[in-house]
Structure 1
């Protein structure tokens, strides 16, 4: 059985676009030519890969299996190419990173600013994802590496801890909880909360903790980013569970109180998650090293 790499890449484009036309456009092909290539691929495999409908295409079970393997193959091909360019030392290449809310908004901009300034030939696609989607993305090859907080239980991954992340309670000055030194999560549920946007890793995590208590999270408003959350807290709209690093940074310019969250899960280990560190392209290994160095300084 013979596979053409351009056909595998085309299949990935079509699957991600959920459209033959969209996938063909990404591959710089006509829709008719793309359709013929996909049909030829189905003929080689003896399996239907796509359900075609008026609203686009949907992967069959066989298509799902092929997508997972095709992503792994194409990423390895891309990595191989980068290793044999004149910039094989990590000065060139492309990385896709799935990361949690804190990473995307708090420390990755700082890390990437230095990393990319030193490597003008490297490009990065940084996407905020839920922890389960980060782990799944690393496993199925749809991302080069992931950044998570908390335990990772999936097998077949390398988990590389690099720093600690503590959650705290941000409260307005003069609030009934502002004089407390520490609070349980359950105590905070008696007051309106400022929460992150839907799709945020932190909001998803807190909802899991609320569910374990058999309660509800009293969200009054949802925002994008910890700066917006701190501004809402300062204005007296509500209280919020936020990373300590963000709370202390914004406390320097805002009127708010930071209270310890007295829960075992409030202290979380940040980790880089990869399938195999040594299999990353040179720029990927360099970024892991940069994150490890960042963890030493914070």
Structure 2
């Protein structure tokens, strides 16, 4: 069975846009030409890949399978191109990373800065995702590398643990809870919380834990980033749950108290997730080394 790489790129664009028209536009061809190429692809395979309707297109089960493998194929082709570029005068490369909130906002920016200095032509697409989306993205080839926190089930993926972090409660130093050395999540729910923005992986994780208690998280304000959380907490707006690494760093310059969370899930192991570390380009291997050391 022969696949044209241009047809695979077109198929991915159409699937990701859920639209023949938008997918064709992203591929820089007409809608009619895109439709004809997808039809020929279906005829070649002998299976329908898309359902067409007035709202756009929807993948069939076979289409979903092809999408996963098409992403992997094109990612490997990109790896090959990037590896070969190391033998030319113009070394280029691209990494797409799916990572949890702490990684995106706390430690990855510094590490990626070091990596990009070492590889001046390298470009990076960093996206915040929850653990399940990180694993799916790596497995389906939508991401080159994933960063997770906490227990994960990663069948057919390579998992590389590299550090641990702990979630803690952060309060103003004169808050009624500030005298405690430890506290459970449920004991915090009677107080207003300062949280990250909607859609952040940490907020979604906390809400899932609160749902398990059959309680509701009292969200007073949502902000972008742990520094903003700490400033709101210092101002007396509420309390907040965040990684200890962030809380302790801001405690040096703000009037904050850091309290241990007495929960089994509070201590989280950070892991790197890839499909096959040996097949990765050298600059991705370098990133892994920077994370692990």
Residue matched to 1:77: 77
Say which is worse superposed, 163-172 or 47-56, in terms of deviation. Answer: 47-56
Is 1:240 matched up with 2:240? yes
Distance 1:87 1:244 in 2: 44
1:42–1:202 distance in 2 versus 1, CA, 3 Å: same
Residue matched to 2:31: 31
> What SS class does the counterpart of residue 84 from structure 1 fall into?
helix
Distance 2:261 2:280 in 1: 37
Say which is worse superposed, 205-214 or 274-283, in terms of deviation. Answer: 205-214
**1:1-298 correspondence runs (5 A):** 1-87=1-87, 92-293=92-293
> What SS class does the counterpart of residue 271 from structure 2 fall into?
strand
> What SS class does the counterpart of residue 206 from structure 1 fall into?
helix
Cα shift at 1:198? 2.1
Distance 1:183 1:95 in 2: 40
Say which is worse superposed, 21-30 or 97-106, in terms of deviation. Answer: 21-30
Distance 1:56 1:197 in 2: 30
> Gaps (5+ residues) in structure 1?
294-298
Cα shift at 1:253? 2.4
Distance 2:121 2:255 in 1: 42
Distance 2:68 2:110 in 1: 32
Cα shift at 1:87? 5.0
Cα shift at 1:74? 1.0
> What SS class does the counterpart of residue 263 from structure 1 fall into?
coil
Deviations 1:64-106 (A, max 9, x none): 1110111111111111222222359xx5311111000000111
Deviations 1:158-207 (A, max 9, x none): 11111111111111121100111221222111211112222211112212
Distance 2:86 2:158 in 1: 29
Cα shift at 1:218? 1.8
- The answer as to whether partners of 1:168 and 1:261 remain within 8 angstroms in 2 is yes
- The answer as to whether partners of 1:92 and 1:283 remain within 8 angstroms in 2 is no
Q: TM-score, normalised by structure 2?
A: 0.95
> Gaps (5+ residues) in structure 2?
none
> What SS class does the counterpart of residue 161 from structure 2 fall into?
strand
Post-superposition, which runs of at least 4 consecutive aligned residues in structure 1 deviate over 4 A? none
Distance 2:275 2:96 in 1: 14
